[in-house]
Structure 1
Amino acid sequence: MRLAKLASLVSALLLSGTLSGTALAQSKVVTEAEARALHQQILTIDTHVDIGRGYATHLLDPGGFTKAQVDLPKMRAGGLDAVFLIVYVGQGALTPEAYQQAAATAENSYQAIMRMIRAYPEQVGLAKTAAEVEALHAVGKRIVLLGMENAYPLGDSVKEVAKWAERGIRYVSFTHIGHNQFSGSSNPRSDLNDAEQDPGLSALGRQLVAELNRYGILIDVSHMGKKSMLEAIKLSKAPVIASHSGAMSVHANLRNLDDEQLDAIKANGGVAQMVAFRSYVAELDPGLNAEISKLREKYLPNGWANANEQDRNSYDTELASLRKQFPDVTVAQFVDHIDYSVQRLGIEHVGIASDFDGGGGVQGWEDASETLNVTWELMRRGYTKAQIEALWGGNVLRILRQAEQVAAKRQ
């Protein structure tokens, strides 16, 4: 209850303009033309974008307009320059057989991303360093960076880190939903017999911190339990990233970061990327929640991964219709999280993420084609060009460079 009351109070203060200096200019009039002119001048990096089933095949060709929230035409339309595409594996059992299967899943995701890059070399390139991001942007290409969500497929050692570093992975989140061999999760799973409390980093998890530092890979603290996250930050010699999280003080959700966690990221020199994921941003309308539950029972009784294409499409179509019938979470509410974090941490420790194609999206930023709307909302609140540049990518490039420098000293 105390968290809920605090979140309500902070939201009210943000809306009234009494908490954040930037929020005081919320009523500033900015035309779309003015927003577009500024947006086109800055490098925009979305630090968390998932890939769908059949990615870079005839089932989902990101070179054309697709049902996915991110593809190359939508990136061009919305002025989204760079994305971290994610090698994701859901949490499973901690057994040799399960590790092997997880490694195979990670390999399939990586190969899918590389197929896309090879298919459209004139449009997009893979960046492994901050300098490569800037070089690709300078010649007008879209940019792909790689992140690994859940270290689970690394198995029972850290030997595979070197391979993934060479391939271009530039951040690794230790966990997803459920504790694993490295760390506690912010969302333990009873079906995996997880302890309710975060157990903290394991001995292997502490090894992973050092190995990621050694290879210039950012430690991603999103999805980590608080105890594990604070331990990782204390051990890391390089800045960390929360690749897609929200501010707990704006909206209470297990996936969001409380003030102590945000402060730890600042003290480390890292960046907290605020995420446009509805349920992390604000409370969903109760009526909408009830209708979504019915849709899931109807079309996704065994989860998204086990549903056929027809049921997935029906779910998406009916969900889009429902969102028009009920009050929705908006891009303005998303920017409230940015406002709060900037006020607490300073502009240099905050960034922007969507979690598109992994559940992300809010009204006004439903897919990459609407990316301009985030910049537009920031301008309405009085953020300057330099501040918007920092939020959209400058801060991420800084910590990438710092991680590279730490790695150079440790090789």
Structure 2
Amino acid sequence: MRFSKIALLTAGLLLSSQAMATSKNITEAEARALHQQILTIDTHVDIGRGYATHLLDPGGFTKAQVDLPKMRAGGLDAVFLIVYAAQGALTAEAYQQAANAAEHSYQAIMRMIRAYPEQVGLARTADDVEALHKAGKRIVLLGMENAYPLGDSIKDVPKWAERGIRYVGLTHIGHNQFSGSSNPRADLNDSENDPGLSALGRQLVKALNQHGILIDVSHVGKKSMLEAIKLSTAPVIASHSSAMSVHANLRNLDDEQLAAIKANGGVAQMVAFRSYVAELDPALAAAINELRQQYLPNGWANANEEQRTSYDAKLTQLRREHPDVTLAQFVDHIDYAVKRIGIEHVGIASDFDGGGGVEGWNDASETLNVTWELMRRGYTKAQIQALWGGNVLRILRQAEQAAKN
């Protein structure tokens, strides 16, 4: 369902915390009213090809899952937009290509912010987030997914800190020069076993702490993750990972990893990525695989616009024809993590435009539905505030403080 910001602003009845804690029959108006009072932060949103150009202008409704109108319609206040480079070889030439890709992502995000200064602002601190929210603006924070573009040193950490990067994911798909990945790649000659942090990886953890940047352990192998948590002097974030005990996937966090995040004071952001949330319907999975072979034989990054458009249209139709992974199944992961490690260590992420989305929360315009489902399950206003952004703001401030000590 899609709701306008005007509707959110004019919604009527406000529920008390006690009523929310006991009632299961939550109306749409009640959900709107509560949602409007909460600062909502989605901690992982990728940007598409041609972002902030004539190909994809996020100031208008686009084919992307997140743009400014969809954020307003769904009441999504803040997003971590991602500076990303795919994993490649550990060579000087490949490092430079990755650095160029990261720079391209960063400049695209900054173009968007400069294009719509009255609507959106860049937050470099937790206080910035709250100030921009008070001013009625959408908020962009920056995350780096995969430290690979940093190359064979940590000399560029201060530059990225100054630019506003608030977390850095140590790895992505494939081991890199810093850390082992949860998903090793045979084509890069990765060991099946996580090698742990390298000497350079340990230096990176310390540098990130010194510059107030959160260490992101999503995509990181278990051995490397636990080593990073032990070494870090600030809380860590798993920016987009769900619970292994609810659905087994290499990208999810097992109970030992969740416990380590709790002990560190960090936050595990449960992610609404279908294949991390639940098993796909077998017929749907087979049909999607066939679709990829037909339209994306060389992967999404190497497909042309016509191939991508055709793939998206046919994928949407397939999901209408088959049972899909649902919002309720996603919130099951939130429930599990909250019961396992406590409400103060759990949060919410979509991975929109990077493969994320479930039926009921398939783009930013449907963000209200997450709050609505949490209310149905008896979460209070204070608890929903913690899940949607309060916990993230807390660890951002703790990382800022740790950098000063």
TM category (shorter chain) comes to over 0.9
Q: 1:26 to 1:275 in 2, by over 3 A?
A: farther
Q: Which of 86, 101, 109 is the aligned partner of 1:113?
A: 109
| Deviation per residue, 1:331-368 (Å, 9 max, x gap) | 00000000000001110000000000000000000000
| Runs of 5+ consecutive residues of structure 1 not aligned to the other structure | 1-24
Q: Which of 364, 367, 374 is the aligned partner of 2:363?
A: 367
1:88, 1:135 → 2: CA distance?
A: 27
By how many angstroms is 1:307 displaced? Answer: 0.3
Identify which range, 374-383 or 27-36, moves more after superposition: 27-36
By how many angstroms is 1:27 displaced? Answer: 7.9
Q: Give yes or no for the alignment of 1:87 onto 2:83.
A: yes
- Equivalent positions of 1:221-300 (< 5 A) are 221-300=217-296
1:220, 1:339 → 2: CA distance?
A: 22
Letter in 2 for 1:125: G
By how many angstroms is 1:376 displaced? Answer: 0.2
By how many angstroms is 1:81 displaced? Answer: 0.1
| Runs of 5+ consecutive residues of structure 2 not aligned to the other structure | 1-20
Q: Which of 339, 347, 354 is the aligned partner of 2:343?
A: 347
1:405, 1:373 → 2: CA distance?
A: 34
Q: Which of 122, 129, 148 is the aligned partner of 1:126?
A: 122
The residue number in structure 1 matching 2:52 is 56
The residue number in structure 1 matching 2:6 is none
TM normalised by structure 2 equals 0.95
2:180, 2:125 → 1: CA distance?
A: 29
2:293, 2:342 → 1: CA distance?
A: 43
1:314, 1:250 → 2: CA distance?
A: 33
| Deviation per residue, 1:279-323 (Å, 9 max, x gap) | 000000000000001100100000000000001000000000000
By how many angstroms is 1:134 displaced? Answer: 0.1
Q: Give yes or no for the alignment of 1:163 onto 2:159.
A: yes
Q: Give yes or no for the alignment of 1:32 onto 2:25.
A: no
By how many angstroms is 1:26 displaced? Answer: 9.8
SS in structure 2 of the partner of residue 284 of structure 1: coil
Letter in 1 for 2:155: K
By how many angstroms is 1:130 displaced? Answer: 0.2
Q: Which of 324, 331, 339 is the aligned partner of 1:328?
A: 324
By how many angstroms is 1:327 displaced? Answer: 0.6
- Equivalent positions of 1:140-219 (< 5 A) are 140-219=136-215
Q: Percent identity?
A: 85
| Deviation per residue, 1:3-58 (Å, 9 max, x gap) | xxxxxxxxxxxxxxxxxxxxxx8981100000000000000000000000000000
1:143, 1:242 → 2: CA distance?
A: 20
2:51, 2:222 → 1: CA distance?
A: 33
Which stretches of structure 1, 4 residues or longer, exceed 6 Å deviation after superposition? Answer: none
